[in-house]
């Protein structure tokens, strides 16, 4: 079964809009888990425009299931992750002013840097995933770096799915076959929703986890948080 990790960045954005603590991020994360999700994902950015660094500590102390922290491994980020010790850290190469993640790591050009970062996290017993484009060279590079998983950037898939879903999935199928052959576990995330998720999961081998935030929270405005989470779980099962 592919696990559902819910990205709660949008909840933090709503909370921060009034400068108060409503909605409370920890309470909603607990409810998300109660409704059936297997994990919580956060992506603190340097300007802390949604997730604050203290949110990582609060969530680790208060949720009962997997915590995944995403981000660009600056020194501040690395120190925070090593202190919090989440179940998983996902390394994402986004710029400090990026609105959202829009590309994966070049694991060949950044081999030495990523290898050192991965080693530091793994020495703290944290599972490491590297965010990559659906490219076999980047996948093989992540394996050489000794990452535990890769997260396939599904933004291109989601865009092309609307007009040519068979072509949209091809590179991801190729990556899943290679990952299965070399013993690399797969996560996936970005722009996945209830329309494109089932086709993706049915075609990808060894898919351990999907991280979904923007679409899930947006759909919840219409259908409610519990119903929306259960709809995603039904697709994944």
Active site residues per annotation: 43, 70, 190
Look up residue 53 and give its DSSP letter.
H
Q: Are 182 and 157 in contact (CB under 8 A)?
A: no
Nearest Cα to Cα of residue 92 among 80, 82, 109, 77? 77
Partners of residue 71 on adjacent β-strands? 91
**Degrees (nearest 5) of the Cα angle 15, 5, 51?**
30
Which residue in the block uniquely carries the two structure tokens 């409810």? 31
CB within 8 A of 172, min separation 6: which ones? 134, 152, 154, 157, 188, 200, 203, 204
């Amino acid at each position: 079964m592919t696990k559902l990790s819910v990205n709660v960045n949008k909840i933090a954005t709503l909370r921060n809009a009034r400068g108060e603590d409503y909605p409370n991020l920890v309470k909603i994360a607990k409810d998300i888990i109660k409704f059936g999700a297997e994990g919580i994902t956060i992506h603190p950015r340097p300007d802390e425009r949604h997730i604050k660094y203290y949110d990582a500590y609060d969530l680790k102390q208060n949720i009962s299931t997997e915590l995944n922290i995403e981000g660009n491994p600056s020194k501040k980020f690395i120190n925070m992750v090593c202190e919090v010790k989440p179940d998983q850290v996902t390394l994402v190469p986004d710029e400090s002013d990026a609105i959202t993640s829009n590309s994966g790591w070049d694991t060949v050009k950044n081999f030495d840097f990523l290898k050192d970062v991965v080693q530091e996290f793994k020495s703290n017993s944290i599972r490491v995933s590297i965010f990559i484009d659906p490219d076999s060279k980047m996948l093989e590079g992540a394996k050489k770096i000794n990452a535990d998983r890769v997260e396939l950037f599904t933004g291109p898939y989601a865009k092309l799915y609307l007009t040519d879903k068979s072509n949209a999935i091809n590179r991801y199928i190729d990556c899943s076959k290679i990952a299965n052959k070399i013993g690399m576990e797969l996560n996936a995330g970005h722009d996945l929703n209830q329309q494109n998720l089932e086709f993706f999961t049915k075609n990808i081998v060894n898919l351990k986890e999907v991280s979904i935030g923007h679409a899930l929270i947006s759909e919840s405005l219409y259908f409610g948080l519990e119903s929306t989470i259960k709809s995603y779980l039904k697709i994944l099962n």
